[in-house]
Copies of this chain bind each other. A is one copy, B any other.
């Protein structure tokens, strides 16, 4: 912890800061420069709010120097984390593609979807049974019935299943049918849910909130990991900016930034990232080129009649063509797909 005093800070002000540091258990090193005094605090705990020091008289700024996340930190497991789901390795040399519709709508739709995506080379199927919708008047999902349908369809095609869990009470039923539990962007800081997910033994796909910094995403992963569940996959899916030409701004750079900070596998969801069908393929290609370990793509057998997110779902033939391009790009960056 570094506290930089203001130019002209008085000795009394400096001492008050030292006292507070000592009281919190820090050993203090003082170094006096031409204009500024800097106090370095070394101690066992770093869980504090730097603004507490910045609010003291005479303090210019305060910098914590230890990352607030430990288990998610790259230094915790520098070789990287590989998560195996039904024999598919996520975070390994191959890029893993998961595809499927936004919502599970009925048995035929999900069976057809599973067949389409499996044939094109996807390893997992996605589909929502509980839907968080911003309007209370929209379709809210099929619930457990939907989960049964996606499980059956996935088994028939040899795919693993990813589905979103929206609250603690759904965790039990979700674990019965789904191989990976997804936490949606809106729940990235639902800490009660995260803590509960730390106690189960299924991999978690944690989506970045639309206004979450990369550090906050890692802190949310830490919440889960601190409960004992180390199998977390981080997922970029677009952040909110001033630009309105796209639904969100898909932050491709989050992929290499995360690879530099953490050992956890990194996924990308260009469908939600951009929200428009014609942009999904270029952004999926960009994500693979930037080093993503996993891709989530919305595909619907009949997007014009989808109950949700039809506008960002690929037609089956578009998905087949995209997979072909992705194989070429994966190869160019030294990976398979």
- A contacts, CB < 8 Å to B: 2, 4, 6-8, 20, 29, 31, 33-36, 38, 40, 42, 47, 49, 51-52, 54-56, 60-61, 63, 65-66, 68, 75, 132-138, 166-169, 186-187, 189-195, 209-211, 213-216, 219-220, 222-223, 226, 239-247, 249-257, 260, 273-279, 282-283, 285-291, 303-304, 308-312, 325, 327-329, 331-333
What residue of chain B has the Cβ atom nearest to residue A326's Cβ?
B332
Q: How far is the CA of A8 from the CA of B35 in the complex (A)?
A: 31
Contacts of A133 on B, CB cut-off 8 Å?
191
Contact of A239 among B7, B38, B241, B308 (CB under 8 A): B241
Q: Nearest chain B CB to A28's CB is how many angstroms away? A: 10
Given A7-B75, A55-B276, A61-B65, 10 further pairs, Cβ under 8 A: A2-B38, A33-B42, A49-B311, A133-B191, A136-B194, A243-B251, A253-B282, A256-B279, A328-B328, A328-B329
Contacts of A241 on B, CB cut-off 8 Å?
239, 241-242, 249, 251
Q: How far is the CA of A26 from the CA of B54 in the complex (A)?
A: 26
What residue of chain B has the Cβ atom nearest to residue A249's Cβ?
B251
Pair B195/A190 contact, Cβ less than 8 Å = no
Q: Is the interface of A mostly helix, strand, loop or mixed?
A: mixed
Q: How far is the CA of A209 from the CA of B33 in the complex (A)?
A: 35
Pair B275/A286 contact, Cβ less than 8 Å = no
Pair A192/B216 contact, Cβ less than 8 Å = no
Contacts of A4 on B, CB cut-off 8 Å?
2, 63, 65
